[in-house]
Structure 1
Amino acid sequence: MLGALGMAASAQAVDFKAGEWSVSLGGIVNAYYTQVSCSGDAVGGLALGGKAVGCGGQDNRTTIGNGLLPNGLVTSASSHQGDFDVKALIGIYNATATDSAISANSGVDVRQAYFTFGNADMGTIKIGRDNGIFGATPIFADMTLIGAGAPVQATQRGRVTLGHIGAGYSYVGYYGQIAWSAPKTASGIGFDAALVSPVSDTPVVAAPLYSTRTSPQVQAQLSYAANGFKGWLGGKTQKFEATAPGVRDFTMSGVEVGASYTQGAFGVLANFQGGKGLGILSDADQGDTKSKAWFAQATYKPADKVKLGLSYGISRNDDNITGTGGLKSNANLTLGLYYQMTSAITLVGEVGQTRSKGFAGGEGKMNGASLGGIIFF
């Protein structure tokens, strides 16, 4: 679980020695031509399939920008010192598309900055900023990670598309944390746990209502892997303190369970999340809403360099409370073709549909297509 995005980015990295350190420099660059068309009702809230969010306030829109991953430069250094394996990593990320051809594209996102130490007996301790444990397995196994998934225009301009975030699973998030990964066992059982710096709510369509309390957020996951099968069970929790009159404190709580299986050219994955305050784009961005999310995916490789995939996800709010803005559900279906042109470059074509439904009965629909590619170096 440690630095999953960083490890993906450094898969093709350049390595060199500097004294007792092995230094790795790698990164990601990607861009996708996306075309979307929106129709239907104004649902409200974070309706990813609606005109306001899905198409950026227009009926149709075109963007050439990042997919689910940003562009990134990832540098790491590792060493064996005494009885410990030691590593430090910094990942700096940036977006491709903006609404200006002359303004400085200087928005930098330092998602990762951490160090680890450990060995086969004690496991590994991580200190710094990295992705959370909860939600990491489905998003990093999502076929649209190297594509676009739901090409939501309100986020692709200046950031990234959403894959199945908010339409199948909640966002993995990036946090300051102290985490521990248990030693790997011959039986394939793994355990990860983290004390995470508590966060405030950051709603997109409403005013903030909560602040952090003194206790940290806690995330943990138990996993098992053997013979092409992986299974996982995880959870997270944090207390939120109300800052607005008439709003109560609440405790965010979530559980996740999932499994994947790969046999030859075929692969399948299923994941479920449920709880209170999980949000769509960030923790508690819909307040103390209770929600559930399902994600399923099937892939097939008809040739060594070609993969076909079909994925579906839905995130559903249980109650029509103020924080939802009237949003009942977001769902996304994506069909993708992925061609590994070289060991570093993958070309991607995807088509899909995102639907958002309201508690009042309205429905918004976004049809989208993406074509482009990604390089890991």
Structure 2
Amino acid sequence: MKRIVKAAILVCAAQAVQNAQAVDIQAGDWTVSIGGNINAYYTSVGCSGDNVAGTALAGRALGCNGRGSATVIGNGLLPNSLITTVKSHQGDYDVQGTIGISAAVATGSAIAANSAVDVRQGFLTIGNADIGTFKLGRDYGIFGSNAILGDMTLLGAGAPVQATQNGRVALGHIGSGYTYLGTYGQFAYTSPTVHGLQGQFALVSPVDSGTGSKAGSMPQFQAQLSYSRANWKTWLGAKAQKFYADATSSDFTEAAFETGASATLGRFGLLGNVQTGRGLGILSDGDQGDVRGFNYLVQASYQPTDKLKLGVNYGVSRSLASAADAIRYNSNLTLGAYYAITKSITLVGEVGQTRSEDTSGKTARLNGVSVGGIMFF
């Protein structure tokens, strides 16, 4: 279980706020940009209900560290991150390199060194407006990126599951609305945008499932086609990988698909995303084995002033497993308020409820409150 949960935690700061308020340094032909975010949230959760089997985010084991309630002052969905980017125009090409380093706020000890460093990004890109952009290195996956980057809880905590937040991050809607987009070694290509249409394709280093099945000799494949206009966007995505059995598992192929859309209508915002497929997993690739999964997230927001944004979202991650003692679904409902006290600092307040049910019908509930703030630089 710990292995699955660790595979689910997230940092998307570089994608969410790329170059936002970054410090730029000119050195010859190179521009060095240093940016990132720092955040902290007081989260309090209470768990009730049955001892639910599987990856039950609302159960006491994961949701409340084995107790009926828990409190952490730690990160939200994003850890603290320092993102360094170097870029230059050489010949006919734009070249760029990025390294992202992250760390958590909360630990379970008052004396142990908080020295765990998480490097999710280390890649180079080359391209131009005519041929598109090629990427080589480690970065986030394509599949699921629009869902998590559009999720309002990216600036907050979403589901403040204690098993991941103490020493890492909260889960947002990972496992209760979408599967984690993952970080992979990859060769990727992003096409030029033509009349709003753009394609992304990647061969990524295959990963183990977390349930015993192993990566094989063939890479994972991910792709996305998107279409954007002034105030709306829609997308289609897919990913596939073959997993190979060990002594406790069997061969299976992950074949997953997603579709979604987002729109801004004056001060209103809407987002919806659906994922489905065999081997999709609750938290990460193939973590339920050869089982069909289904995820969806819906969100509505309203900005009454230039500084204040109010939102509500609801997500479900469902496993169609037939075996006993397996997770059936996790769901999360979050209400949030996000106030930009300055152009760099946003104060956040969220309340939410996460529910879990297993294949035997046992249910659990987690009620959570998160209050804090995030600074981008």
**TM superposition score category, shorter chain reference:** over 0.9
Report the Cα offset of residue 311 of structure 1.
Answer: 0.3
Q: Partner amino acid for 2:267?
A: A
Q: Partner amino acid for 2:161?
A: V
Moved over 4 A (4+): none
Question: Cα deviation per residue 1:179-229 (whole Å; 9 max; x = unaligned)?
Answer: 0000111x1001000000000122xxxxx4111111100000000000211
Q: Partner amino acid for 1:193?
A: F
Is 1:121 matched with 2:130?
yes
Decide whether the 8 Å contact of 1:5 with 1:140 is kept in 2. no
Aligned partner (choices 286, 309, 319) of residue 321 of structure 2: 319
Partner residue in 2 for 1:293: 295
Partner residue in 1 for 2:200: 192
Partner residue in 2 for 1:366: 366
Secondary structure at the aligned position of 1:154 is classed as helix
1: CA distance between counterparts of 2:192 and 2:247?
44
Q: Partner amino acid for 2:335?
A: L
Is 1:64 matched with 2:73?
yes
Is 1:138 matched with 2:138?
no
Report the Cα offset of residue 9 of structure 1.
Answer: 5.1
Partner residue in 2 for 1:329: 329
What is the identity percentage for the equivalent residue pairs of Structure 1 and Structure 2? 57
Report the Cα offset of residue 320 of structure 1.
Answer: 2.4
Farther off after superposition, 100-109 or 6-15: 6-15
Q: Partner amino acid for 2:309?
A: K
Partner residue in 2 for 1:182: 191
Partner residue in 2 for 1:243: 246
Is 1:157 matched with 2:160?
no
Secondary structure at the aligned position of 2:14 is classed as helix
Secondary structure at the aligned position of 1:302 is classed as coil
2: CA distance between counterparts of 1:333 and 1:200?
30
Decide whether the 8 Å contact of 1:356 with 1:365 is kept in 2. yes
Question: Cα deviation per residue 1:55-90 (whole Å; 9 max; x = unaligned)?
Answer: 111101000000000100100000000010000000
Is 1:308 matched with 2:291?
no
Normalising by the residue count of structure 1, what TM-score does the alignment of the two structures yield? 0.95
Aligned partner (choices 210, 221, 224) of residue 221 of structure 1: 224
Decide whether the 8 Å contact of 1:242 with 1:248 is kept in 2. yes
Farther off after superposition, 4-13 or 146-155: 4-13
Partner residue in 2 for 1:231: 234
Instruction: Report how many residues are paired.
Output: 366
2: CA distance between counterparts of 1:311 and 1:5?
21
Farther off after superposition, 46-55 or 304-313: 46-55
Report the Cα offset of residue 264 of structure 1.
Answer: 1.3
Secondary structure at the aligned position of 1:303 is classed as coil
Q: Partner amino acid for 1:251?
A: T
Secondary structure at the aligned position of 2:303 is classed as strand
Secondary structure at the aligned position of 1:199 is classed as coil
Decide whether the 8 Å contact of 1:126 with 1:178 is kept in 2. yes
Secondary structure at the aligned position of 2:61 is classed as helix
Partner residue in 2 for 1:255: 257
Is 1:97 matched with 2:93?
no
Q: Partner amino acid for 1:127?
A: L
Q: Partner amino acid for 1:223?
A: S
2: CA distance between counterparts of 1:34 and 1:349?
10
Normalising by the residue count of structure 2, what TM-score does the alignment of the two structures yield? 0.95
Farther off after superposition, 278-287 or 63-72: 278-287
Report the Cα offset of residue 286 of structure 1.
Answer: 1.4
2: CA distance between counterparts of 1:41 and 1:108?
36
Question: Cα deviation per residue 1:326-358 (whole Å; 9 max; x = unaligned)?
Answer: 211000000000000111100000000000011
1: CA distance between counterparts of 2:110 and 2:282?
31
Partner residue in 1 for 2:355: 355
Report the Cα offset of residue 167 of structure 1.
Answer: 0.2
1: CA distance between counterparts of 2:230 and 2:33?
30
Aligned partner (choices 106, 113, 116) of residue 115 of structure 2: 106
Decide whether the 8 Å contact of 1:10 with 1:74 is kept in 2. no
Report the Cα offset of residue 277 of structure 1.
Answer: 1.4
2: CA distance between counterparts of 1:289 and 1:344?
43
Decide whether the 8 Å contact of 1:289 with 1:321 is kept in 2. no
Partner residue in 1 for 2:6: none
Decide whether the 8 Å contact of 1:9 with 1:376 is kept in 2. no
